[in-house]
A = this chain, B = another copy of it.
Amino acid sequence: MNACILTIGDEILIGQITDTNSGWIAQRLNAIGATVVKMLSVGDSEDEIIRGFDIAFQLADITLVTGGLGPTKDDITKHVIATYFEDHLEFHQPSYDRIARIFRKRNIPIRESHEKQCFLPASAVLLKNKMGTAPGIWMQKEGKVLLSMPGIPYEMKSIMIEGGGLEKISNTFKSKAIAHRTILTAGQGESTIAQRLEDIEQCLPSHVKLAFLPSLNRVRLRLSGIGSDQELLEAELEAEVKKIEDRIPDLIFGYGEDTLEAAIGKLLLAHQLTLGTCESCTGGYLSHLITTIPGSSQYYNGSIISYSNDLKKKLLGVSEKTLNTVGAVSEQTVIQMVKGGLQSLNTDICVATSGIAGPDGGTKEKPVGTIWVAVGNKENQIAKKIHIGKSRLRNIEFTTYYALNMVRLFIKEYYVSE
């Protein structure tokens, strides 16, 4: 089954919002064996949408559309769909009743714009949207399917999951064998890993591909294969995964949708350890990533974000002398932050960051992008200096992933028995 994803909205084409819907939909389609052959973004104009439909219908069995279904004026998708499918819009009483019921409960008056929303293509199958007022619109013609949903991500997701969109797609089409494996690494760059895996890559069967997908301090290795027999294909990919695992065990922190922050959470839980963070230059991002993980309160106590030197002294016991001699961006400071954090936050392990995130504040000795990271427990502390670049956000994010990987390596070193 070939799929095409079409996102509609001037706001996408002028770059005001980033389309995250397409990626989310693609992942789900992939999981049920569909191949996304194209993603397309077009503006809020009838002509552009029709041209988009033309391109999509030529290539794909199913076209998923997001955007252009909401309570405000700039929404025309619905009208275009009706025209394209030689249908017309009709008032849909159950949709209206549902909106009226919800609004009555919340004491909100129903607006004319919501009434207009209830005019829907007469031949559409409507899919429930638990998070909003516009339902998913499922149209079918000559074996081809179009599913149109609002652009707001959580509404789209609600239609796809609770509204049954994904299930309906899966039931409508049959799939051929396709499989993926993703191995997640941290600590080395794309070229170095590629070299370590060179012979493995060269010996891959021709229907299996290996791709290197770098992001900050991490590289994902994606194996993908296409075949006719699902079981056989899965076994082939597993064998390749095994080879890679044996070659670079030091770099692998997880698989598939794992994240470094989740991997650390699992390690901490497994060894009944608690973690605290003392952040300066990362400003809370480290703590944020850790606490995105459900259940993180079981191993994460909290953080002291000592953005000012005063707080480094007052809350973490960094010495005045250290700050006056070697400064806040130094090995001594991050080690003292770790020690202070272990006490203040009452944790087994603590990780600390201090650096010059930029864009200003650099000196000749410590240019913007100079950053110290330390991790430790009561007995052992390790500090590393890294140098990144001039972008504030990149410095914050890179340092955060670097710090997370240092925590991972520290636990492996001091708590995991071989």
Contact = CB atoms under 8 A, between A and B. Distances in A.
A283 B291 contact: yes
Chain A to chain B: the 7 pairs with minimum beta-carbon distance, closest first: A283-B291, A284-B287, A15-B26, A15-B27, A39-B41, A284-B284, A303-B305
Given A22-B41, A24-B15, A302-B311, A283 B287 contact: yes
A122 interface: no
A23 interface: yes
A300 interface: yes
Nearest to A211: B74
Contacts of A315: 302, 304, 315, 344
Nearest to A42: B38
Interface in A1-56: 10-20, 22-30, 35-44, 48, 52, 55
Interface string A385-411: 000010111101000000000000000
Copies held by the complex: 2
Contacts of A302: 304-308, 311, 315
B71 A191 contact: yes
A384 interface: no
Chain A contact residues, majority secondary structure = mixed
Interface residues of A, number: 102
B16 A294 contact: no
Interface of A: 10-20, 22-30, 35-44, 48, 52, 55, 70-74, 111, 113-114, 131, 152, 154, 180, 182, 190-191, 194-195, 201, 209-215, 220, 222, 224, 277, 279, 283-288, 290-292, 294-297, 300-308, 310-311, 314-315, 344-346, 357-360, 389, 391-394, 396
A155 to B, nearest CB: 11
A104 to B, nearest CB: 15
A249 B396 CA distance: 34
Given A11-B222, A40-B38, A307-B302, A294 B194 contact: no
A2 to B, nearest CB: 11
A209 B11 CA distance: 12
Contact of A359 (B48, B294, B391): B294
